[in-house]
Structure 1
């Protein structure tokens, strides 16, 4: 545990840091955001000035090795996560990496090793583990509201991105060199990590992927099935070329059903013979606020947080098995 205020620096202050994550580091008691980095110095300066941050730079090494910085949040696209995280570990500093942790299981494992050997905290921003909506689902599961759980299924579908029809379109989420699984890497990782949190580790996983539309270099259609260590079975399909959006998770038990969405802001629902509940639970304005507070609670008060490099490594293993690369 640390016995002082922890100062943070952010590498990669793009859109995700504007509202979703950046302000949470400023609003969390015990943390302060002191420096930000972006390759475009003018954009780094603009972010710092608008958010009241003291320092800014275009040089990641300068930020990582700044003696006034205790911890680094890496908020870049995933192709940079491993190289920056290794530098953070070499500097003996705390690290939080944006999800997905890296491009594949192998990179995640390489990242984790130096943090574990030095006993340095490594967190990953799978913040759904801290959101009240999903904690209500966990409460229902832990209190056996639907009895023994038999199966979980997730359907996630959406139409193709119309911008892909333009010659100058570029999105790292469909660049196979950055996101080998395309949108699956960026989106499915959230849900699969949440299932790990809700139902325990995965024991065996298999799947298939395909490029049905040929709009992007990365695949766009996926199916998967798995078994958790406790015997609960699971399945999912993810398709990014359907006619309308679908985002539905169903957890089936011996006495009822729990249903919710991973991304859509819909109520969480509990259905049994005895009760029918539908609860609308809003996210915080800064959706990573509770995630950042959970890191604070571990670092300053010794309360363990579950979204670590080790848990995210397991999620990467699940994803690579569905993609068929391990």
Structure 2
């Protein structure tokens, strides 16, 4: 690994450029960068000039462009956040690595493990920081679940089960284009977009997944990507796991159960719901709200990582493992 020439200190603000400023950048992410002390968002890019200009104006960002390379290779931009659909993550990330800048890429890291590996290697070879926006690893709600597990409040962990299901939405049924259901962009469909959050979180909570397999089908024929996925996996400590993700059911469900020798922890990965602990001491229910800008703690952890104060919980290395697990479940590896 070669040594990067990148340096960051709190004496001078770190200037971020953003590639892609669609829905996720409205409230979830970019405002979190703007409120983080020592960070500035100086430039945004979107292919549609009118939308790029409008976004920059509404968010008080001084520069906008329709050219990604104008952001990436701008000497006044120190770091880049990629918030485009996953099929362009590799293309832009490799350019950021070439430019010698730290990068945060939206999840999933890429449409497949091989693309994710190329991204990881590019930053690793240059000694550059690569982060993946699996921000649940930084949220207080899930840090509390991790605390319960670390304290042994359900004894030895045995198994984890997740059901994520919902009916098709109007756009699915009408055939309207959605990159999340286009197999060229997201082969697993909503599985890629949603299940990635949970599978990544589970490795954070229970240790790395070392084996995984599954079945993926398109049951409804509403779009080109898979809409029904079932998977099983094994964590490094011998904890077994299973999940199913079906996007053609009669109701919306998002429920995780972690079973231990002395109790159970339950929570939702994506829905706003309390976390629950059941053991010999009783049944505890905690409602821990998310911050207004849900990536706030994730971004704050990026700052501390770049300052050398801590190691970020969601890096290219952990994101690469999540990509591997997803491809194993989809049968792509």
**TM-score band, normalised by shorter chain:** over 0.9
How far residue 166 of structure 1 moved from its aligned partner, in angstroms, is: 2.3
C-alpha distance in 2, partners of 1:317/1:78? 15
C-alpha distance in 2, partners of 1:212/1:206? 19
C-alpha distance in 1, partners of 2:172/2:146? 38
Matched position secondary structure for 2:266: strand
* 2:264 alignment partner in structure 1: 257
* 1:294 alignment partner in structure 2: 301
Q: How many residues in Structure 1 have an aligned counterpart in Structure 2? A: 325
Give TM-score scaled by structure 2 length. Answer: 0.96
How far residue 264 of structure 1 moved from its aligned partner, in angstroms, is: 1.1
1:2 to 2, 8, 15: 8
- Kindly report structure 1 stretches of 4+ aligned residues shifted beyond 4 Å: none
Matched position secondary structure for 1:243: coil
* 1:214 alignment partner in structure 2: 221
* 2:3 alignment partner in structure 1: none
Q: How does 1:1-326 map to 2 (within 5 A)?
A: 2-3=8-9, 4-167=12-175, 169-326=176-333
Give TM-score scaled by structure 1 length. Answer: 0.98
C-alpha distance in 1, partners of 2:322/2:162? 16
C-alpha distance in 2, partners of 1:110/1:293? 26
How far residue 164 of structure 1 moved from its aligned partner, in angstroms, is: 2.4
Deviates more, 1:42-51 or 1:72-81: 42-51
Where structure 2 has 5 or more consecutive residues not aligned to the other structure, the ranges are: 1-6
Q: Deviations over 1:31-62 (max 9, x none)?
A: 11110000111111111111111111111001
C-alpha distance in 2, partners of 1:37/1:163? 27
Matched position secondary structure for 1:302: coil
